[in-house]
């Protein structure tokens, strides 16, 4: 019986407490910070994909009035280490990645020289005055070509472009051989650019007399950065403060301790002055992590009824020129989740990871899981088509059933709980699948091409710690501290670092709920390592699942203590105490009670006024470590119409039914899904960071790299199901990535369904009008 | 993001502006109107003029008027003004084009004259200018001259405007009660500029046949051009949907560009499709213009 | 060069380099940091302010071009600590996540308010052509603008 929960804040559509200052233009993003005497850092970048630096003349730049210093890669290598990468994982031969290139550049956009000047206008002018002569080397940006013996090798010490090879899964050879039929395909999940609206930036301020270094960083993970920066700079961690101020989006791309950020900190230490580095958008397109960039060759062993008996992938993953923080995790995650929402007895992926003359890749919303989902959902459609079955039929036949959880996949992932059918059924009902199929037939007869696409996705979020890991992001715990002040108001200190997810509001809801308070009675503090002793960060849909669980447990502990204290003051048994609307009442005598404010004030009294053994203060700190990932799932269905004259695809309807587990604030959950859908649709139809054969990026600015605008997107129909997760006390599943994961296969499947009568069988993303039109012409020919 | 340093002049009158320009060494000064093309180029340091002559405050160069059977559009008239101009009701193509050009903020500052002077290969107004057979009026230290639209665009990003000359206004024939014009555009997904843009004007004779048509094309090649092959095919015909479509099937004078967003084949296809669409709408408007 | 203008109703005089962008003038000289910079190709709209009552991208206007003009930034919108109805609608409809695009979105959609006819969703989406958001998928922004238009 719930006897203590008015007003019910869990599941309430509470407006965000984060909003007013952001709306009034009073946010504080890193570029908004101005410190007296602050210098500006500016980076000159390589225009070549692969070249030797023959001459680097910075003398003119140094001579420009207002310039304080100019550094080359060689200058810096004398006092700075290569930047940390690949999470310091064992067995990963990370090639040295210098802060600025030393003698050789390996991708367009790699830093070559750094200018420190009085303001950004001068710094920019000085950049123009640096003279570099390059000896251009052959470049390779296609991972397939990079593996051939003739390909130019990026890292001489490694000797080839193979970054690492790994097999994940069980035996598939025998199972494939025994299958009734083998269906094969090749799918590419193209290289894209996460592209938050705020580019990267840092302000570093070393105060020599305090021996203190503060770095304001546009990051998702100030605590991780503090640990990495301290180690990199050999600077005592207890004197280092990292602050994530307001962060204008990240999406996985602000997880990495970047060269420029480390350089800003190092130069502030060296010069003893504050300095700022703000990335321009055109630099961002080249120098901030790219993502995805995976391709698979698929072999699926199937029965005629559509049952998948065995699945094998050969996965090629493009690392780019160097490893960033967790570049290598992407393909492993893809492999681990290759079976998607399905029960497939035999499955394995052989991973080959490759270095290319391209921007390093790293996480992007749905890291590894968006790729896995795309591959399996495209495979399901391919199987249906090859067997002449309905795409729905093939999915239903293989879907893991509710009674099969927990369910261990051949790649070692455990789906803890779920109800995949529920989302599928609801999606089809809302979409009117049969009715839309009829509509499709009618339109076809009239020469119009409507297609239906389905994706039933299942993946994981809220990672647990990696056993034996010691480097970057191997810790899956999160910490929260809840404390009540003498006036009965609450402060929560959280280790995650939200930047748009609304976690300040959901945290306030979770905590206020425990005490019958209002969200505005709770203040949430995050993002400043001086104010928050320990934490990790916001990534992989973990803020609520892991961080929120720590918060809930801490709040519950404080609540239990407050109840004991109230019972002591009321002189009744704690089990008699009912906490309602910030008031503790005697269940046996409703007239008797004591307000939370009073109990709180009393909690600060000396120990002698407290129950035996009770310490003063109402405060608890809880570190929550999930035992397993949560399973996240949903079904997306969309209808897309293709203009066969121009190849333009227009989404007519998009329905997303996603399971949030327990949704603390459905409005925020829906907002997360909308944003992810926009990115997923962007990947499906518009976005692609491609290179020409010389390694020049073809979409190096927003003039060529298309991200969705309002007019490019449909009105989304989003609905939530709530199947509580079993691996955290909130029952939450992690929803931040669902849209970006579900949309690409749903949209691509729909376009191919639309074009099926024209004989188009395959398309690689992005399905730009030109690509679609070309495919139609080829099919007709 | 940050332009190179330059000097800045704000002439008080057109005379003054012409005089300032006449004083400059060739190639060192640039005229600044709305700045929506020039400033982005300078911010990327693709252009670095030593002097900017800001004509943006010369109201004598703005506005729409009518004189002796022609419409006159001042060079400084903004895209937003063209979107909303009641004076241009007879040529709905102006509002239609302005509505698909850039975005509201760009339309609030960017000017008609600046767009023609810039002559970006994927700009929208050049197509309309060609299709409506406008005449550009230029003013330089040696006086005034006019250039017909078909002689205006001389190559990639180049026009008949000579060094030191200012485009003051453009004139167009006013509506005649039996003509219609329309613009059909496919946006490049990232920049929003025209991957293909076709402006078409159709004038009908009393029998409902096409007395004359003009077709201006942008986005396809290095410079905007008239699709004369289409115009010739249509001349004298009684238009039907299939006649319009067939007349656009092949445009040999097009010399399409190849780039990331559209290769030459695809651009040819877009030209066919949008020429047909523009002509179809222009025809509807011509028919409905007949009292 | 000397310039004098009004910013959020207050007169401002300054000496600026001709190349100084209006957005840098507002952010760095006047410390009005609510106006953001999201790109260097004049496309994202994060820098949108009103110049003589019309929405413009302040990254593509020189401070000297604003000489004698009236500028309104996001900071000038909320009078005396009260959110403007458009700002309130943004909160109500959850039209912001990271908030970086938000000031620009609001300044751009302000032009739609107070018209005789409430724009439909398609018109609102078209009116946001010059503003990019990477967080919200625009749906709630459209809803917020619609809500504010209905009320104005
Ligand atoms: C985000 C964005 C999107 C855009 N989208 C589109 C689009 O979809 N379609 C489109 O067509 N355009 C588009 N544009 C370009 C826009 O239309 C420009 O406004 C226009 O091309 C230039 O007009 P302006 O007044 O701003 O000229 P400016 O930028 O001031 O000048 C442009 C050039 O013309 C010269 N010039 C200007 N006026 C004169 C004159 N009167 N006499 C002689 N020379 C002159 C200048 O010296 C300069 O070389 C876009 C621009 C931006 C920033
Ligand atoms: S910063 Fe002005 S449009 Fe992007
Ligand atoms: S709310 Fe983050 S970019 Fe729009």
Q: Residues 437..496 of A with a Cβ closer than 8 Å to B: which?
A: none
DSSP B192-237: -SEEEEEEEEEEE-TTS-EEEEEEEEESSSSS-EE-HHHHHHHTT-
Give the pLDDT band (50/70/90) at residue A1: very low
| For residues A59-82, average pLDDT | 97
Residue A242 confidence (pLDDT) = 97
Contact B103 C60 (CB under 8 A): no
pLDDT of A305 higher than 60? yes
**What confidence tens digit (pLDDT) does each residue in A467-496 have?**
655 555 567 889 999 999 999 999 999 988
| For residues B262-276, average pLDDT | 98
Beta bridge partners of B159: B153
What are A160's two structure tokens? 């080839």
Q: Which of A249, A678, A702, A736 to mutate to test the pocket of ligand 3 (most atoms within 8 A of CB)?
A: A249
Inform me whether the C-beta atom of residue A593 falls under 8 Å from chain B C-beta atoms.
no
Residue A87 confidence (pLDDT) = 59
**What confidence tens digit (pLDDT) does each residue in A512-547 have?**
999 999 999 999 999 999 998 888 878 777 888 899
Q: What is the CATH number of the domain that holds C34?
A: 3.10.20.30
Contact A212, A239 (CB under 8 A): yes
Which residues from chain C sit within 8 angstroms of residue B80, using beta carbons?
54
Inform me whether the C-beta atom of residue C25 falls under 8 Å from chain A C-beta atoms.
no
Residues C91 and C70 in one domain: no
Residues C8 and C61 in one domain: yes
Inform me whether the C-beta atom of residue B84 falls under 8 Å from chain C C-beta atoms.
no
**What confidence tens digit (pLDDT) does each residue in B120-133 have?**
999 999 999 999 99
Contact B150, B217 (CB under 8 A): no
CA distance C64 to chain B (A): 9
| For residues A565-589, average pLDDT | 94
**What confidence tens digit (pLDDT) does each residue in B1-45 have?**
999 999 999 999 999 999 999 999 989 999 999 999 999 999 999
Residue B168 confidence (pLDDT) = 98
Residue A3 confidence (pLDDT) = 38
Among C46, C76, C106, identify where a domain stops.
C76
Residue A275 confidence (pLDDT) = 98
**What confidence tens digit (pLDDT) does each residue in A13-44 have?**
999 999 999 999 999 999 999 999 999 999 99
Give the pLDDT band (50/70/90) at residue B255: very high
Residue A475 confidence (pLDDT) = 78
Q: Residues 46..85 of C with a Cβ closer than 8 Å to A: which?
A: 46, 73-75, 77-78, 83
This model of the complex carries an ipTM of 0.98
CATH architecture of B7-53: 2-Layer Sandwich (3.30)
Contact A422, A721 (CB under 8 A): yes
| For residues B155-177, average pLDDT | 96
pLDDT of A11 higher than 60? yes
| For residues A739-760, average pLDDT | 98
Residues C72 and C108 in one domain: no
Q: Which residue's CA is minimally distant from atom 36 of ligand 1?
A: B114
Residues C14 and C61 in one domain: yes
Give the pLDDT band (50/70/90) at residue A6: very low
CB atoms < 10 A from the CB of A239, how many? 14
Q: Which of B1, B73, B106 to mutate to test the pocket of ligand 1 (most atoms within 8 A of CB)?
A: B106
Q: Report CA C93 to chain centroid distance, whole Å.
A: 19
Domain count, chain C: 2
| For residues A399-415, average pLDDT | 97
Give the pLDDT band (50/70/90) at residue A2: very low
Does any ligand 1 atom lie closer than 6 A to the CB of residue B166? Answer: yes
Query: Which CATH number is associated with domain B60-173?
Result: 3.30.465.10
Mean pLDDT of chain A: 95
Alpha-carbon gap, residue A464 to A453, rounded angstroms? 33
**What confidence tens digit (pLDDT) does each residue in B42-69 have?**
999 999 999 999 999 999 999 999 988 8
Name the residue with tokens 């290319």: A356
Q: Which residue's CA is minimally distant from atom 1 of ligand 2?
A: C37
**What confidence tens digit (pLDDT) does each residue in B208-229 have?**
999 999 999 999 999 999 999 9
CA distance A624 to chain C (A): 26
Alpha-carbon gap, residue A243 to A528, rounded angstroms? 4
Residues C69 and C98 in one domain: no
Residues C67 and C93 in one domain: no
Ranges of beta strands (E only) in A90-147 are: 104-105, 111-117, 131-136
| Closest alpha carbon to B181 in B249, B97, B110 | B97
DSSP A567-590: HHHHTS-GGGEEEETTEEEETTEE
**What confidence tens digit (pLDDT) does each residue in C37-60 have?**
999 999 999 999 999 999 999 999
| Backbone angles phi and psi of C107, in degrees to 5 | -65, -30
**What confidence tens digit (pLDDT) does each residue in A328-340 have?**
999 999 999 999 9
* Residue from C79, C129, C134, C146 whose CB has the most chain A CBs within 10 Å, to mutate: C134
Which residues from chain B sit within 8 angstroms of residue C42, using beta carbons?
36, 39-40, 43, 106
CA distance B99 to chain C (A): 9
pLDDT of C74 higher than 80? yes
Q: Which of C107, C133, C137 to mutate to test the pocket of ligand 3 (most atoms within 8 A of CB)?
A: C133
Residue A5 confidence (pLDDT) = 44
Which residues from chain C sit within 8 angstroms of residue B109, using beta carbons?
56, 60-61
Residue A468 confidence (pLDDT) = 58
CATH fold, domain B179-289, is Enolase-like; domain 1 (3.30.390)
Residue A540 confidence (pLDDT) = 75
Atom of ligand 3 nearest to the CA of A196: 3
Residue A472 confidence (pLDDT) = 59
Domain limits at C18?
2-76
Residue A4 confidence (pLDDT) = 41
CB atoms < 10 A from the CB of A572, how many? 18
| For residues A720-729, average pLDDT | 95
Q: Report CA C20 to chain centroid distance, whole Å.
A: 19
Residues C64 and C89 in one domain: no
Residue A471 confidence (pLDDT) = 57
Q: How far is CA A272 from CA A80, A211, A257, in A?
A: 16, 10, 21
Among C47, C76, C105, identify where a domain stops.
C76
CA distance A690 to chain B (A): 9
Nearest chain C residue to B187 by CA: give it.
C129
Give the pLDDT band (50/70/90) at residue A88: low
- Which structural domains are found in chain A, ordered by start? 19-26+477-624 (3.30.365.10), 34-137+196-250+254-287 (3.90.1170.50), 291-464+627-780 (3.30.365.10)
Q: How many residues does chain A have?
A: 781
Distance B251 CA to ligand 1 centre (A): 28
pLDDT of C126 higher than 70? yes
The domain locations on chain B are 7-53, 60-173, 179-289
């Amino acid at each position: 019986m719930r006897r203590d929960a008015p007003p019910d804040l869990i599941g309430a559509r509470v407006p965000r407490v984060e909003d007013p200052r952001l709306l009034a233009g009073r946010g504080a993003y890193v570029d908004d910070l101005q410190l007296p005497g602050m210098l500006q850092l500016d980076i000159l970048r390589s225009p070549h994909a692969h070249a030797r630096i023959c001459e680097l003349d910075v003398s003119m730049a140094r001579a420009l009035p207002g310039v304080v210093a100019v550094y080359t890669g060689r200058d810096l290598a004398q006092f700075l280490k290569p930047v940390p990468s690949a999470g310091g994982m064992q067995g990963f031969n990370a090639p040295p990645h210098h802060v600025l290139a030393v003698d050789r550049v390996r991708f367009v956009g790699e830093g070559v020289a750094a200018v420190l000047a009085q303001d950004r206008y001068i710094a920019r002018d000085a950049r123009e005055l640096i003279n570099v002569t390059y000896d251009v080397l052959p470049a390779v940006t296609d991972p397939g070509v990079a593996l051939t013996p003739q390909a130019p090798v990026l890292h001489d010490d490694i000797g080839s472009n193979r970054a690492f090879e790994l097999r994940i899964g069980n035996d598939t050879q025998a199972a494939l051989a025994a299958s009734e039929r083998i269906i094969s395909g090749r799918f590419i999940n193209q290289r894209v650019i996460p592209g938050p609206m705020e580019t990267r930036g840092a302000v570093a301020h070393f105060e020599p007399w305090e021996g203190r270094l503060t770095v304001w960083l546009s990051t998702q993970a100030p605590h991780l950065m503090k640990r990495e920066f301290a180690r990199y700079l050999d600077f005592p961690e207890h004197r280092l403060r990292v602050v994530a101020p307001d962060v204008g989006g990240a999406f996985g791309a602000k997880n990495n301790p970047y060269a420029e950020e480390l350089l800003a900190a190092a130069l502030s230490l060296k010069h003893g002055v504050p300095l700022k580095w703000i990335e321009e958008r055109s630099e961002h397109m080249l120098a901030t992590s790219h993502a995805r960039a995976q391709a698979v060759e698929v072999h699926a062993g199937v029965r005629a009824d559509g049952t998948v008996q065995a699945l094998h992938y050969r996965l090629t993953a493009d690392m780019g020129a160097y490893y960033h923080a967790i570049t290598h995790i992407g393909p492993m995650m893809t492999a681990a989740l290759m079976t998607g929402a399905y029960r497939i007895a035999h499955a394995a992926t052989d991973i080959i990871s490759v270095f290319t003359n391209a921007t390093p890749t790293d996480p992007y919303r749905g890291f590894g899981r968006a790729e896995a989902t795309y591959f399996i959902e495209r495979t399901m459609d391919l199987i249906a088509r090859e067997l002449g079955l309905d795409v729905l039929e093939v999915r239903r036949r293989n879907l893991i059933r509710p009674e099969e959880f927990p369910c261990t996949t051949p790649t070692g992932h455990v789906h803890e709980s779920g109800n995949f059918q529920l989302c599928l059924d609801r999606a089809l009902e809302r979409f009117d699948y049969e009715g839309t199929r009829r509509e499709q037939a009618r339109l076809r007869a009239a020469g119009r091409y409507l297609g239906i696409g389905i994706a039933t996705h299942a993946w994981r979020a809220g990672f647990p710690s990696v056993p034996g890991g010691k480097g970057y992001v191997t810790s899956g715990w999160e910490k929260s501290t809840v404390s009540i002040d003498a006036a009965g108001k609450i402060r929560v200190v959280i280790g995650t670092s939200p930047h748009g997810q609304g976690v300040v509001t959901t945290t306030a809801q979770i905590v206020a709920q425990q005490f019958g308070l209002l969200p505005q009675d709770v203040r949430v503090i995050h993002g400043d390592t001086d104010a928050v002793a320990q934490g990790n960060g916001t990534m992989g849909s973990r803020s609520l699942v892991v961080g929120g669980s720590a918060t809930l447990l801490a709040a519950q502990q404080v609540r239990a203590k407050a109840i004991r204290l109230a019972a002591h003051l009321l002189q009744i048994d704690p089990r008699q105490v009912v906490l309602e609307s910030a008031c503790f009442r005697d269940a046996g005598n409703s007239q008797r009670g004591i307000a939370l404010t009073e109990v709180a004030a009393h909690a600060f009294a000396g120990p002698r006024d407290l129950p035996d053994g009770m310490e003063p203060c109402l405060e608890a700190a809880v570190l929550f470590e999930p035992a397993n990932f949560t399973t996240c799932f949903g079904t997306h269905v969309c209808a897309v119409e293709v203009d066969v004259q121009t190849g333009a695809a227009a989404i007519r309807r998009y329905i997303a039914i996603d399971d949030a587990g327990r949704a603390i604030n459905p409005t925020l959950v829906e907002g997360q899904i909308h944003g992810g859908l926009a990115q997923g649709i962007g990947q499906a139809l518009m976005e692609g960071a491609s290179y020409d054969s010389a390694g020049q990026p073809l979409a190096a600015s927003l003039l060529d790299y298309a991200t969705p605008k309002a007019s490019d997107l449909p009105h989304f129909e989003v609905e939530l199901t709530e199947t509580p997760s079993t691996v955290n006390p909130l029952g939450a599943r992690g929803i931040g990535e669902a849209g970006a994961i579900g949309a690409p296969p749903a949209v691509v499947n729909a376009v191919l369904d639309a074009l099926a009568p024209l004989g188009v069988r395959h398309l690689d993303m992005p399905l730009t009008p030109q690509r679609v039109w070309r495919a139609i012409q080829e099919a007709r020919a | 993001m940050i332009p190179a340093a330059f000097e800045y002049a704000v002439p008080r009158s057109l005379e003054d502006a012409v005089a300032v320009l006449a004083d400059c060494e060739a190639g060192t000064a640039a005229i600044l109107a709305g700045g929506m093309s020039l400033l982005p180029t300078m911010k990327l340091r693709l252009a670095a003029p030593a002097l900017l002559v800001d004509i943006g405050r010369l109201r004598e160069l703005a506005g729409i008027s009518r004189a002796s059977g022609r419409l006159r559009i001042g060079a400084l008239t903004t895209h937003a003004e063209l979107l909303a101009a009641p004076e241009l009701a007879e040529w709905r193509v102006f509002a239609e084009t302005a509505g698909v050009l850039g975005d509201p903020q760009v339309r609030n500052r960017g000017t008609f004259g600046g767009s023609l002077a810039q002559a970006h290969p994927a700009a929208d107004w050049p197509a309309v200018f060609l299709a409506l057979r406008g005449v550009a009026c230029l003013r330089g230290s040696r006086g005034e001259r006019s250039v017909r639209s078909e002689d205006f665009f001389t190559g990639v990003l180049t026009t008949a405007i000579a060094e030191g000359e200012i485009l003051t206004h453009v004139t167009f024939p006013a509506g005649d009660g039996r003509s219609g014009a329309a613009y059909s555009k496919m946006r490049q997904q990232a920049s929003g500029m025209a991957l293909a843009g076709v402006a078409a004007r159709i004038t009908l004779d009393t029998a409902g046949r096409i007395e004359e048509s003009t077709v201006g094309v942008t986005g396809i090649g290095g410079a905007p051009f008239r699709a004369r092959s289409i115009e010739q095919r249509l001349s004298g015909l009684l238009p039907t949907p299939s006649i319009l479509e067939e007349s656009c099937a092949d445009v040999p004078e097009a010399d399409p560009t190849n780039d990331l967003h559209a290769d030459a084949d695809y651009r040819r296809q877009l030209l066919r499709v949008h020429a047909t669409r523009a002509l179809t709408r222009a025809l509807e408007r011509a028919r409905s213009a007949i009292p | 060069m000397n310039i004098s203008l009004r910013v959020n109703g207050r007169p401002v005089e300054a000496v600026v380099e001709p190349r100084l962008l209006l957005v840098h003038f507002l952010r760095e000289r006047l410390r009005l940091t609510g106006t953001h910079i999201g790109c260097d190709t004049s496309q994202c709209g994060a820098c949108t302010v009103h110049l003589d009552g019309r929405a413009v991208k302040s990254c593509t206007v020189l401070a000297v071009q604003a000489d004698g003009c009236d500028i309104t930034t996001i900071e000038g919108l909320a009078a005396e600590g009260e959110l403007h109805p458009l700002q309130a609608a943004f909160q109500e409809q959850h039209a912001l996540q990271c908030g970086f695009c938000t000031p620009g979105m609001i300044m751009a959609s302000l032009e739609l308010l107070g018209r005789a006819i409430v724009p439909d969703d398609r018109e609102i989406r078209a009116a946001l052509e010059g503003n990019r958001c990477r967080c919200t998928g625009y749906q709630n922004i459209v809803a917020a603008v619609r809500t504010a238009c209905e009320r104005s």
